[in-house]
Amino acid sequence: MAALPEDFLPANVFPADLSESISIAFLQLAQGAPGDPLAAFTSVLLIELGQRIVLNWLRDAGRTLPPSSPDESEAHLQLTDIRGKTVSARVFTRAAREASGDTAFPLEAGSIQGINIFVVFGNTPAQPLFSLENTSIAGWLSDRNLRELGIPRQLPDIRLSQLRPPLELLPFLS
């Protein structure tokens, strides 16, 4: 079943999440992130916030989360499945105006993990800047789902219309 906008879950972000994400993005910038400084800062900020949004959702849903480690990077997570096995997961983020089924998440070769969770930072015509109130967990796909769709691991992007609803992930996790 494809995720529809009504399946999207609103973001749950605490002030500490925002503060820590900004600090990490600023630190990356201070360390000389390549390219345009504002683009680099925004990219790291969205990745950090996306990861925290997903962790808050899973924690609120009563799922087991391993202790966070300082080497977690690029939104990689380790989750526990219902068999008690550790599964690698990754959070993909996208800033999108008026997200639709055609909104795409660009993926890099080798970035796909066992579980892939997608977070959209959105805006509205009345609010042109991206906001947390317009941010949601849009859906997820496993690496197996991608293979079943005939999508190779080096797929350049994945569309919102191809995602599974986020709530369908919970029964697979302990």
Phi, psi (5° rounding) for residue 25?
A: -65, -40
Q: What is the pTM of this model?
A: 0.86
Mean pLDDT of 136-162: 78
Q: Give the span between the Cα atoms of 143 and 172, in whole angstroms.
A: 14
Question: Would you state the structure tokens that stand for residue 129, as one six-digit string?
Answer: 């800047």
**Tens digit of pLDDT for each residue in 25-51?**
988 888 877 788 888 898 889 999 999
Could you tell me the residue ranges of all domains in the chain?
Answer: 5-11+64-172
Is residue 155's pLDDT more than 70? no
